[in-house]
């Protein structure tokens, strides 16, 4: 059964609700949330920033970081480095390590998507392009200090959707260990 983007969005929200994670929508920049934020057990998304499919991908990505932060000490050196004042001078090794961290978050997010709705090949390919676009966008910001806006991101995303060849190795889902619905952690990730 193929779902439209709004139906996929509703399905992923329902699965997260069962995991004790609330998804909240705003329609403009509010409290410095230009695109999305994960704060403790709540994901807040600006619906003016992205279309429904991109919101699904953003939710999946933020959920991936939420799960990673259950073992924060493993990622602390990466997160604290990119939280410093930009622009940053970073090595190619750090870039690869940070890309692997992001890819892992997207892998966890893919597992969430698989639990929420059937992931078609088209969605899978777009998810990969989204991850690459998101990484390029963020890396550009932290290494130059120039923050591209929403229009630039969405334009680059559409270019990447159209120009990326079929990915031979899509993002692998990473299974999430069980945790109690009542168990939430203190975590904050902002996407801009």
pLDDT per residue as tens digits for the range 60-101: 999 999 999 888 899 999 999 999 999 999 999 999 999 999
* Cα dihedral 93, 94, 96, 98 in deg (nearest 10): 170
119-171 pLDDT, tens digit per residue, is 999 999 999 999 999 999 999 999 999 988 888 999 999 999 998 767 878 89
How far apart are the C-alpha atoms of 4 and 108, rounded to whole Å?
22
- Provide mean pLDDT across the span 28-52: 84
Percent of the chain with pLDDT over 90: 67
Half-sphere exposure at residue 75, Cβ-oriented, CA atoms within 13 angstroms: 22
Report the pLDDT value the prediction gives residue 148, as an integer from 0 to 100. Answer: 87
pTM of the model: 0.92
pLDDT mean across residues, the chain: 90
Angle at 33 between CA 101 and CA 36, to 5 degrees: 45
CA-based R_g, the chain, Å: 16
Contact 75/101 with Cβ under 8 angstroms? yes
Angle at 184 between CA 70 and CA 139, to 5 degrees: 50
Task: Indicate if the alpha-carbon torsion angle 91, 70, 131, 111 is positive or negative.
Answer: positive
């Amino acid at each position: 059964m193929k779902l439209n983007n709004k139906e996929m969005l509703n399905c992923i929200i329902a699965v997260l609700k069962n995991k004790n994670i609330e998804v909240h929508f705003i329609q403009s920049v509010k409290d410095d949330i230009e695109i999305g934020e994960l704060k403790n057990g709540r994901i807040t998304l600006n619906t003016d920033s992205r279309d429904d499919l991109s919101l699904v991908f953003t939710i999946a990505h933020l959920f991936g970081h939420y799960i990673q932060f259950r073992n924060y000490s493993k990622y602390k050196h990466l997160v604290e480095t990119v939280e410093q004042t930009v622009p940053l001078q970073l090595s190619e090794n750090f870039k690869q390590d940070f890309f692997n961290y992001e890819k892992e978050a997207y892998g966890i997010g893919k597992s969430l998507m698989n639990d929420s709705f059937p992931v078609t090949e088209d969605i899978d390919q777009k998810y990969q392009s989204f991850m690459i676009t998101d990484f390029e966008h963020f890396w550009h910001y932290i290494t130059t200090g120039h923050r591209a806006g929403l229009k630039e991101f969405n334009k680059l995303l559409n270019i990447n959707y159209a120009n990326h060849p079929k990915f031979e190795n899509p993002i692998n889902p990473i299974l999430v260990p069980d945790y109690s619905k009542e168990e939430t952690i203190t975590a904050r990730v902002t996407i801009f």
